[in-house]
């Protein structure tokens, strides 16, 4: 595993051209929102159509919010190679049952107000079977709504894979990677509104700039650190 390569997920895709733009830019995964109340929400049948455009080694991720187990399983039958993302109030037992052996991530919704406590270490201990924790801002409703929480709130060391989300853009993602990666086993990033022309409609240029910013951060972190020793 290359510790200096940040995996990238472009989320909230609704159109073929946006899927193609994400793939062309070098994204590792695309997110398909199966939550009717979201402006980026699509039906499972539409998610399957978009997922079929993906080449090998680009992963479709199906996002659910407090969905019934039967509906999760039905969607998975249409996109059998998907990773699942649970973004509501799902319990560990629910996630395991609904996933049925498929890999899944659990969103940790971190309060924007620094005075509101949130124990990420305790949260992680409750979801040991999650492939990763997705770190998003806690706002009214579900999803970050383009808001970034204070990254300084994260503990200095958490033994899990993490996906940084919430308010990321081509302008700030490199800073997020530099600040957050040392705290986790590995770090990926997830962007939606930060690469949009309008809600649910992606901007190909922004997607390419986002990916380029991530790769620039990777290159920066991969540089060896030279320590100048005093002359003796």
Catalytic residues: 11, 136
- 8 A C-beta contact, residue 208 and residue 25: yes
Alpha-carbon distance of 91 to 126, in angstroms, equals: 9
């Amino acid at each position: 595993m290359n510790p200096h390569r940040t995996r990238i997920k472009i989320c909230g895709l609704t159109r073929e051209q946006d899927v193609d733009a994400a793939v062309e830019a070098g994204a590792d995964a695309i997110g398909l929102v199966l939550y009717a109340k979201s402006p980026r929400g699509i039906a499972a049948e539409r998610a399957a159509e978009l997922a079929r455009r993906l080449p090998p080694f680009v992963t479709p991720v199906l996002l659910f919010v407090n969905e019934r187990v039967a509906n999760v399983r039905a969607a998975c039958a249409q996109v059998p190679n998907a990773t699942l993302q649970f973004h509501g109030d799902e319990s560990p037992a629910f996630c395991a049952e609904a996933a049925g052996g498929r890999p899944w991530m659990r969103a940790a919704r971190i309060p924007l107000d620094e005075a509101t406590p949130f124990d990420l270490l305790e949260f992680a201990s409750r979801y040991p079977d999650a492939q990763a924790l997705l770190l998003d801002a806690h706002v009214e409703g579900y999803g970050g709504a383009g808001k970034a929480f204070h990254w300084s709130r994260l503990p200095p060391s958490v033994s899990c894979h993490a996906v940084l989300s919430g308010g990321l853009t081509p302008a700030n993602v490199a800073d997020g990677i530099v600040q957050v990666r040392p705290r986790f086993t590995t770090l990926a990033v997830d962007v939606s509104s930060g690469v949009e022309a309008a809600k649910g409609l992606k901007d190909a240029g922004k997607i390419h700039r986002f990916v380029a910013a991530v790769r620039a951060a990777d290159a920066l972190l991969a540089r060896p650190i030279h320590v100048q020793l005093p002359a003796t």
